[in-house]
Amino acid sequence: MLHNSHLYHEAKHGFAKRGIDVGEVKLNLDQLLADKDKAVSGLTRGIEMLFKKNKVEWLKGLGTLKSANDIEVSLNAGGKESIKAKNIIIATGSEPSPFPGFEIDEKQIITSTGALALEKVPEKMIVIGGGVIGLELGSVWSRLGAEVTVVEFLPAIGAGMDAELAKAFQRSLSKQGIKFKTSTKVVDSEKKDGKVLVNVEGVKNGKKEALEADVVLLSVGRRPYTEGLGLENVGIKPDSRGRVEMADNQFRTSVPNIRVIGDATVGPMLAHKAEEEGIAAVEYITNGHGHVNYNVIPSVIYTHPEVAWVGKNEQQLKEEGVKYKIGSFPFAANSRAKTIDDAEGLVKIITDAETDRILGAHIIGPNAGEMIAEACLAMEYGGSAEDVARTCHAHPTMSEAFKEACMAAYSKPIHF
């Protein structure tokens, strides 16, 4: 939906200046949602094929721990089945966190689940929470025609993002028509005359205000999904946030043969982080060795422009007392970005002031989610900015902006 809504917005607002006349552009929301469903089912069937290929039996149902080695499965098709296991990995993922004062119906007061299935474009949408999910889905419905307002408790959007990029990101989304109310506390809500009224107040000044919308999207984070898992049956106690804690760095819980990975435990709730942990957990079970470098777990926001980062940001390094250098390069000086008229944003590289080792990389701009992989590879092998800068990059490509930012970090760029 992010991709297709961007294409729709481009066709409606960007094609004419490129010399492409397409006449009146109309939204077929039913087809857009059908295309989304097709993509989801295709990926799901792909996983099922991988199960068969690797001789993995898939029991479809709700699994409940009965003991450290026994699991009872309430099958979707009806009935129950009991299985025994020498080793168990909890990988149950997460679900949207509820919010006090809001009753979710997935029609007017929705989570990310409902936001992927709205039957019509709302006239007004309020997004509660300026994190990744809220900004992505808010961006989708904004492109499709909704008037979107994001309400965020913190003074800036994109929690965890480098402050410089967060400001640039908010400016970019504001230019696209999304409104922001930062440093704003959400109090409660009520439904009235087919609308949802959201009562808010300023964090600093306490100023009260009532916002009206057709749809309210709750995107205040996610919580581990452990309902019905039977943790109490084996003596595993979740922490205050519902996460299953690891007892060691091999993903073991307090019960040695039961391990936990992904959203169900601590750390960023990212699919690629869970994948790395899943591989490592199995490696520990089979040969006693596994590897996950938590300093090199990238984050991506798939809006337009995209935002991606990995490693430390400036605020973190200041708090840690680490001396650092910065190299940045704007896409406005990148030939590929300029020629396709998609030159908003920059690449920012942060290095150790003494060793030139890359400590963090932060990108806002076209293809940021793809470009961040180069930073991850360099950081995984302890690479320096000069290492990347002295590596030939194809011309003309967006990746040259990454090279030039690295050049700026240890010396100077040649195109800016």
Q: Which tokens sit at 212? A: 């009206």
304 part of the active site = no
pLDDT in tens, 73-115: 999 999 999 999 999 999 999 999 999 999 999 999 999 999 9
pLDDT in tens, 251-300: 999 999 999 999 999 999 999 999 999 999 999 999 999 999 999 999 99
Relative to beta strand 109-110, strand 215-218 is parallel
Residue 27's pLDDT is 97
User: From the candidates 3, 291, 395, 415, which is the catalytic residue?
Assistant: 395
Q: What is the mean pLDDT of the chain?
A: 96
pLDDT in tens, 183-229: 999 999 999 999 999 999 999 999 999 999 999 999 999 999 998 99
> Region 298-325: what's the mean pLDDT?
97
Residue 160's pLDDT is 84
Model confidence band, residue 145 (pLDDT cutoffs 50, 70, 90): very high
Residue 20 — φ and ψ, nearest 5°? -115, 110
State whether residue 179 is helix, strand or coil.
strand
Give Cβ neighbours of residue 173 (< 8 Å, ≥ 6 apart).
135, 139, 157, 180, 303
User: Which helix (H) or strand (E) segment is 376 a member of?
Assistant: helix 368-380
> Region 326-345: what's the mean pLDDT?
97
